[in-house]
Structure formats: structure tokens, C-alpha cells
């Protein structure tokens, strides 16, 4: 395995969800490729300082979403063809991270702004449809 998540941030809603999000990010960004093996649940738990049950819960979430496949004796591997972000988007995200880091902007501030801009953009692209409701 070439990439591995960091210890969950203390402000995450649950350590299992934080681990899930980090592995998901590694998979959709292409840093973990199809067929690549994840560390064992025990190894992930030890590396991140969480209980094995917490790491197992994160792995179950990844499997539920079709991002990984777990087979007895073969371990957990990235599924074939998971939803990977296109290369140009990954490059732009890396550019955004570099620019934000250079400007000493906190990651949470960038994420909040991105979410707000995404919602605003999506709302303008797909305005709500008015339904004609006549009384019955």
C-alpha cells in the first residue's frame, strides 16, 4: 500500500467515519488504485490509535459503498473501477491545496467555502420546479 490515512481529527463526528472518509479520499483521488491492498483492520487500528472495532466499522462502510472488496485470506483491496475523480479535477484540487496552504488558509475554511459555492452553483443550475397544484 502506498498511501495511508492519518490519525482521525478530534473534531470528526466519529473516528470510524473519519477513517472511512480518509480512505475514500485516497481511493477517489487515485492514490489507492484498483486491486491495491489496504492494511489489515488490526494494522489500521494500531497505526491510527483506535480500537480494532472502530477500524472494522470504517472498512464495512467502504465495502458498503463498493469502494473495497474483502475476502477471507486475501484481505481488503480497492474494488475494480471505483468512482475515481478525473485527473484534471485532482490536479485542480492539488493546486487549490497548494494555494490555500501558501495563503495560510485553514482546510476547514476552504471546505466550507467549497460546499457553499457548490450549493449555490447547483441551485442556480437546477432551480426548483414550481408545481401547479389545483385544489381537489
Residue pLDDT, tens place only, 5-49:
655 544 446 999 999 999 999 998 888 989 999 999 999 999 999
Co-location of 36 and 54 in the same domain: yes
Residues 69 and 37 in one domain: yes
Range of the domain at 119: 87-125
Contacts of 75 (CB under 8 A, 6+ apart): 37, 38, 40
Q: Is 7 part of any domain?
A: no
Pairwise CA distance, residues 67 & 49, whole Å: 23
Count structural domains, the chain.
2
**Residue range 48-87, pLDDT digits in tens:** 999 999 999 999 999 999 899 999 888 999 998 766 777 7
Residue 29 shares a structural domain with residue 72: yes
Same domain membership, residue 101 and residue 56: no
The closest alpha carbon to 73, from 32, 27, 40, belongs to 40
Bridge partners (DSSP) of residue 71 are 75
| Residues 65 and 101 placed together within one structural domain of the fold | no
30 and 67, same domain (yes or no): yes
Burial class (CB in 10 A: 0-12, 13-18, 19+), 67: buried
Amino acid at each position: 500500500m502506498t498511501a495511508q490515512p492519518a490519525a482521525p481529527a478530534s473534531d470528526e463526528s466519529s473516528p470510524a467515519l473519519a477513517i472511512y472518509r480518509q480512505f475514500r479520499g485516497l481511493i477517489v483521488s487515485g492514490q489507492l488504485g484498483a486491486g491495491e491492498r489496504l492494511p489489515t483492520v488490526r494494522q489500521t487500528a494500531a497505526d491510527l490509535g483506535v480500537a480494532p472495532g472502530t477500524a472494522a466499522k470504517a472498512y464495512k462502510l467502504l465495502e458498503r459503498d463498493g469502494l473495497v472488496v474483502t475476502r477471507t485470506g486475501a484481505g481488503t483491496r480497492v474494488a475494480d473501477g471505483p468512482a475515481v475523480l478525473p485527473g484534471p479535477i485532482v490536479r485542480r484540487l492539488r493546486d487549490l491545496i497548494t494555494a490555500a496552504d501558501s495563503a495560510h488558509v485553514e482546510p476547514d475554511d476552504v471546505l466550507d467555502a467549497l460546499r457553499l459555492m457548490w450549493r449555490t452553483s447547483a441551485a442556480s443550475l437546477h432551480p426548483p420546479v414550481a408545481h401547479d397544484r389545483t385544489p381537489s
